Amino acid sequence: MLVRFATSRPEGAYTLALPIAAGAAPADRLPPSDSAARGIVRSAAEAARFEGETGATVDLFIPEGSGVRRLVLVGVGSGPDGHERAGAALVARLLTSGETRLVIDLTGIAVADPAEAAAKYASGAVLRSWRHDVYRTKLAPKARPSLTEIVIVGGGEGAEAAWSRLEAVAAGVAFTRELVAEPANIIYPESFVERCEALTALGVKIEALDEAAMREAGMGALLGVSQGSAREARLLVMRWDGSDGTKDPVAFVGKGVTFDTGGISIKPAAGMEDMKWDMGGAGAVAGAMKALAMRKSKAHVIGVCALVENMPGGNAQRPGDVVTSMSGQTIEVINTDAEGRLVLCDAITWVQRRYKPRTIIDLATLTGAMIIALGHEHGGLFSNSDELADQLLAAGKASGDALWRLPMGDAYDKLIESPIADMKNVGPRDAGSISAAQFILRFVEEGVNWAHLDIAGMVWAAKPGPLWDKGATGYGVRLLDRFAADNLEG
């Protein structure tokens, strides 16, 4: 999608979009002398009960010269996210409409920062235009995207600069969506690493540990998950240091189960195809690293993706097995489908020993219980630091990747006590997401601020949302980028 900014409407054929604030009169966006067009707009808005609600649209045609112009009214509401959602709504309406060029005219509307508003329209449009059509060979012409160019008028001189930052974040989201949307025969541990190697061109330093290196390091928990698969595990490490060595690193750690059958504790067949997105946490970390590098963030971040397949092969680990983690703690594996925490615990130990971060944020599609608790509206947040939790909640609210904090404590920790090992990998059904977080906390070293984001309900959408179509959402990228911008770049 080509995005341009202009000071006036271009010549030629295009669809014109006019943003309308909540409660404003749509006809007032047209010249007083154009009484015919104003009457059509007024009647159309009244017929559609359009009141400028965020993301609402009215599609009509108005006379212009000797012909007609397609006009779309789009509501921006009264909230801070109205411009981005309006840009997305326009693309959702027009992407496959046959129109090729959209002009969004911001002149004549009151906005505090026209440049930022223009960039938000671009961001919403680009995010909503993303599709994964790689394997579609028989798309009907009317189902193919036609919209290729967006021109935003009235953003002022700072629009390009404002868009530059948001464009980097949108590129990171697109990268995450690509990784999450690809099937498991295309994206597996080794190929995930290969896709991420492209980030070296942006200045990201990349290292990948194979199974031999992980075995030497003592990662028995992670390798226990992988041992049933013909695909070898990988620990992908991405480093971006925009601070020129002046700042201590913060670690982002992502669960990267590129396909999860459940192992010997196998999942039901119905819906198992969805488990290609069980690497959504790792995907978010990779996308965030791309965004940070593209916009030359001044943060120092280590991104770690623990990449495995969980398969029920003849060599797969069994319920009741005991594994020794890299930390030296032993784990009784009660359920092989509670594998994400086994993968994360070794990755967290490794990054602490190698880079000694004072802050760790892990992201994982960890528990179905999180979806039961929060649905698809919020990711779950667990933390041993009120300050870090508050920073993440604020970043979630500002970015649109919403979070909700849940409790932790000794009573929940007792749920994972084992009679034969240091702990077991699952507790009872009650408080399943919390006991999973308690498990991970046992591997966080003293003095390290840690947050666990259970994003099981957020990385994949069964229906279109404000900024995405059905499928991969890219959740987590905007959250991590905003957290870095607000807390790591000063």
Enumerate helices (H) and strands (E) in the chain, giving the number of each.
14, 19
Per the annotation, the verdict on 482 as an active-site residue is no
Report the SS3 class of residue 135. coil
Judged by phi (left if over 0) then psi (alpha if -120 to 50, else beta), residue 474 lies in left
- Say which of 341, 424, 478, 482 is annotated catalytic: 341
Report the SS3 class of residue 294. helix
Strands 67-77 vs 15-21: parallel, antiparallel or unpaired: parallel
Half-sphere exposure at residue 333, Cβ-oriented, CA atoms within 13 angstroms: 27
Q: Running DSSP on this structure, what letter comes out for residue 446? A: T
Contact 343, 429 (CB under 8 A): no
Strands 403-405 vs 379-383: parallel, antiparallel or unpaired: parallel
d(CA 119, CA 121): 5
**373's tokens:** 């608790």
Which residues are CB-neighbours of 337 under 8 A, at least 6 positions away? 260, 262, 263, 265, 266, 267, 310
Per the annotation, the verdict on 341 as an active-site residue is yes
Q: Running DSSP on this structure, what letter comes out for residue 350? A: H
- Say which of 267, 298, 354, 397 is annotated catalytic: 267
Residues forming the active site = 267, 341
